[in-house]
Amino acid sequence: MSKGRFIVIVLDSFGVGAMDDVSKVRPQDLGSNTAKHLIESPEVKIWPTLEKLGLMNILNFEYDDLKMSPVAIFGRSELKHFGADSYFGHQEIAGTNPFVPIYTYIQIHLDDIEEDLIKHGYEVHRIYRHDLAVLKVDNQIIVGDNMETDLGQAINVVGALDDCGFDKIEAVGRIVRKHVKVARVIAFGGSGVTIKDLEDNIIYKEHFIGVDAPGSGVYKNNYHVDHMGYGVDAKLQVPTAIHEKGVKNYFYGKVENIILNPEGKNYAAVDSEDILDHLIEDVKVIDEGFFFVNIQETDLAGHAEDSARYIDVLNKCDVKISELLEIVAPQDVVIVMADHGNDPTIGHSKHTREEVPLLIYRKDNTKLIDIGKQNTMANVGQTVADYFNTKIEYGTSFLSQINPK
């Protein structure tokens, strides 16, 4: 007999209040609360589904037509990963116990990386801007700091894909990964971009130097990327564990390029309605599996500091999630959550280190169940594993707490 479907929908960046440690580790995020501040904004919010699932119960207040739900299963989770990061957030949800990275910059690793690349047969040259340098590899790839995210948390290995192919970019990325304990080494490339385009878009700030990736055009055509996280082992995550039990994984949106999906189905898209429509169509015909979804447009609106756009995306998602809940079966589990915050009202355009909501749906539930505060989002991954009668190395299952009977 089929076990059923476990569906996790990540509303990327929809946090529910600053973590207790932000005063020490991210003081710029003090006072952040993405969900609450969106609710208090003047734009029209049509969120009957999020309300029904217990959003206001989590926030512990009511506002206009948004009330606490009398019947819901809900909770919240702290972030175990350091900072507030989509990549590490999803790794954590999948069951990783995140290591604390060491913030760094390419300059102090140039000699070691250059020596290792040459040892592996690559031709390496340094490109200078004033007294800072990046590494140019085989006249096709540039290794430098990531200049888009929080400075110091990622090293980029960016290549002219038409000239070198993605396998080569990844191979260089793996060599770089050995020498830095930064959160991510991001190996990526795109078609229609030359090494000159990359060189012409080298920028620097303080002691950081790297390619301005959007300016270079590398994202525009045939974009390929591999996020190489610090301390991430996909073999220990829930998609691998349930695959080994014969259960298939179905990934939608950004999840498909940051979490390993062994022999599963991936649907790459950004448009929220498109993603949720594909999920709904799959759920109509697939009786068993783990469905892992990322809604990226909420995060993009947060980065743009655009509350109206953020709310518009949530309005659309609320309708689609309602359609999904209509077709799931009593044995299924649906969790709507986030991976961090991105409060568009806080005064900066970066992610905010916030706890995340856990809005849990079981069709036959008739009770108000508060599962409390989870100490890591990996508890979601362990709950997925538990549902499919297996276990992963990290996290604590809350499956027994969300039994509707």
- Rounded (10°) CA dihedral 39, 77, 317, 43: 10
What is the secondary structure of 21-67 as a DSSP string? THHHH-GGGTT--HHHHHHTSSS----HHHHHHTHHHHHT--BTTB-
Spell out the per-residue pLDDT of the chain, length 405, in tens: 358 999 999 999 999 999 999 999 999 999 999 999 999 999 999 999 999 999 999 999 999 999 999 999 999 999 999 889 898 999 999 999 988 888 899 999 999 999 999 999 999 999 999 999 999 999 999 999 999 877 898 999 999 999 999 999 999 999 999 999 998 899 999 999 999 999 999 999 999 999 999 999 999 999 998 888 888 888 999 999 999 999 999 999 999 888 999 999 999 999 999 999 999 999 999 999 999 999 999 999 999 999 999 999 999 999 999 999 999 999 999 999 999 999 999 999 999 999 999 999 999 999 999 999 999 999 999 999 999 999 999 999 999 999 877
For the chain, how many helices (H) and strands (E)? 15, 16
Q: Taking Cα atoms as reference points, which of 266, 262, 251 lies closest to residue 90? A: 251
Backbone angles phi, psi at 159, to 5 degrees: -130, 160
* Parallel, antiparallel or unpaired: strands 289-295 and 356-361: unpaired
Extract the tokens encoding 113.
Answer: 């990386």
| Segment (H or E) for 242 | helix 238-243
Give the domains, in start order, of the chain with CATH numbers.
5-99+232-402 (3.40.720.10), 106-229 (no CATH)
What is the secondary structure of 63-121 as a DSSP string? BTTB---SSEEEEEE---SSS--HHHHHHHHTT--PPPP----GGGGHHHHHHHHHHTT
Extract the tokens encoding 260.
Answer: 């390993």
Q: How many whole angstroms separate alpha carbon 355 and alpha carbon 57?
A: 14
Extract the tokens encoding 360.
Answer: 């849990």
The model carries a pTM of 0.84
Q: How many whole angstroms separate alpha carbon 383 and alpha carbon 399?
A: 5
Extract the tokens encoding 47.
Answer: 């969120």
